[in-house]
A and B are shown apart, each in its own frame.
Chain A
Amino acid sequence: MKHIKTLKTKKLNNTVKTGGCGECQTSCQSACKTSCTVGNQKCE
């Protein structure tokens, strides 16, 4: 596209069927423990 550049992103709606295993870590907005923020969390 000439006027718009689209970044590489994970399509959230694709995770509706594949997600929900519940195996991910807890998350926290503070760096005072093991977890990271949900926006930077790994699907683990």
Chain B
Amino acid sequence: MVHCYKNNGYNIVLDVDSGAVHVFDDIAYDMVGLYEDNDRDDIFSKMKSMHPSVSEDELGEVYEEIGQLKESGDLFSEDVYKDRVIDYTKRPTVVKALCLHVAHACNLSCKYCFAEEGLYHGKKAELMPFEVGKQALDFLIENSGSRHNLEVDFFGGEPLLNWQVVKDLVAYGRSVEKEHDKHFRFTLTTNGVLLDDEVMEFVNREMDNVVLSIDGRKEVHDRMRPFIRGDGSYDLIVPKFKKLADSRNQDRYYVRGTFTAGNKDFSKDVLHLADLGFKQISVEPVVAPEDEQYALTMEDLPELYEEYDRLAAEMAERMDTDREFNFFHFMIDLEGGPCVYKRLSGCGSGTEYLSVTPTGELYPCHQFVGNDGMKIGDVYNGIQNKELQQEFKGCNVYSRKECSECFAKYYCSGGCAANAYHFTGDIRGTYEVGCALMRKRVECAIMLKAARELKEQ
């Protein structure tokens, strides 16, 4: 499969199944679309009408170059991975990561929160007791096989509402690492309201990553992320986030925002965060039912595509200057990255990644918490709903027809099971708006790679 597109002045040709990426000049770009379905004479005849000033010799050069790429397996390659990947997904798996919901409570009242002010469809606030968290870490150690590195996310609600338990769980984790030949990588997600010097010092010592929730411009942030009493949280959190980001040398953190129908000009929010000095930025589309006022729909796509293009062009402009920054959804590793098995076999939710509620229930991921039909077990008795786990294990690119035919499949892994479930009622469905935006982001990310490499050349 070949995907051809133009972005920011580059003619990009992605050979999907080999992973090869090429930048074509205008003549070659027009020819590649004709190459597979026409013979040489027809191609030359059509090209002459499109490019009357181009000589026969030059057309011959282009034809030859395309042929060389095909010969070397870097163009028009085919997907030969399906059977192997499906076999791979049947392998025994271990638990690699847990999301600990240490607080089903929040001190903000964000309008788009899938956790419903942190309560996750519950009626009252709940904090995870230390004993439940300790049992969760023991469960992870016992079910992680010979794996050394284990990921644990402190999540909510707002985790800082249960800060002492977070610290105690980190201490417990560190105390048992050596005995079990494990290493915990801890992450904290916070809205910043309770962030202070003591929290920052601990976070910088113990947390591999920190996610700081902020949506961008003050008016955008305060409209969607107010306190329960109604006033905005921007002025309180920005100085603290800047201090924390600087104290981590602008590394191993993200400022993470959500854009909605209320700020479809979200590139301005990304650039606002960049101009505040943040270097690690993620601003992501809201996922909400179509009848929500702030939801993004298929009708919004052209406007959102333009916004991603605008952002990518600005990032290309800032490349190699002190105003450069990373944007989570444009980060792609063309030279490294995982093998095809990982790329095509899904995110690991329900098998390698589980979420733990304050009472110790296990769910396939944080976006399913509170949905009783999706409870998969608990930290005391392990996985009990084996049938549900098998369903998640079977989630891969080939379990969705749309994915197997999509050019972005090696960079997306088949999309988000939770989004698919919430929009189609099936974890093997596809969430159309999310897919469309993912494809656009992959195009922009590859363009930025091309811009950097050609600049270096």
Contact = CB atoms under 8 A, between A and B. Distances in A.
Is the A/B pair a real complex?
yes
Contacts of B339: 12, 15-16, 18-20, 43
Given A4-B65, A33-B187, A12 B412 contact: no
Contact of A40 (B23, B189, B332, B416): B332
Interface in A1-44: 1-13, 15-16, 18-20, 22-44
B25 A37 contact: no
B256 interface: yes
A30 to B, nearest CB: 6
A1 B97 contact: no
Nearest to A6: B22
Contact of B410 (A28, A35, A39, A44): A39
Nearest to B449: A7
B22 A34 contact: no
B438 to A, nearest CB: 7
Contacts of A39: 331-333, 337, 410-412, 442, 445
A20 B434 CA distance: 28
Residue picked from A11, A33, A44, most chain B C-beta under 10 Å: A33
Nearest to A41: B338
Contact of A6 (B21, B61, B333, B438): B21
B25 A19 contact: no
A6 B328 CA distance: 25
B200 to A, nearest CB: 19
B335 A43 contact: no
B19 A9 contact: yes
Nearest to B154: A33
B138 interface: no
Contact of B342 (A18, A31, A32, A38): A38
Contacts of A38: 337-338, 342-343, 347, 410-413
A38 to B, nearest CB: 4
B151 A12 contact: no
B415 A35 contact: no
Given A5-B22, A29-B412, A16 B335 contact: no
B336 A27 contact: no
Interface in B1-29: 13, 17-25, 27-28
Contacts of B187: 33-34
A41 B342 contact: yes
6 contacts: A6-B69, A11-B20, A29-B415, A38-B337, A39-B331, A44-B149
Pairs A-B, 6 closest by C-beta atoms: A19-B339, A39-B411, A15-B339, A26-B348, A31-B282, A12-B19
Given A4-B22, A38-B338, A43-B336, 13 more contacts: A1-B68, A3-B25, A4-B24, A4-B69, A6-B21, A7-B22, A8-B334, A20-B84, A25-B151, A33-B153, A33-B366, A40-B332, A40-B333
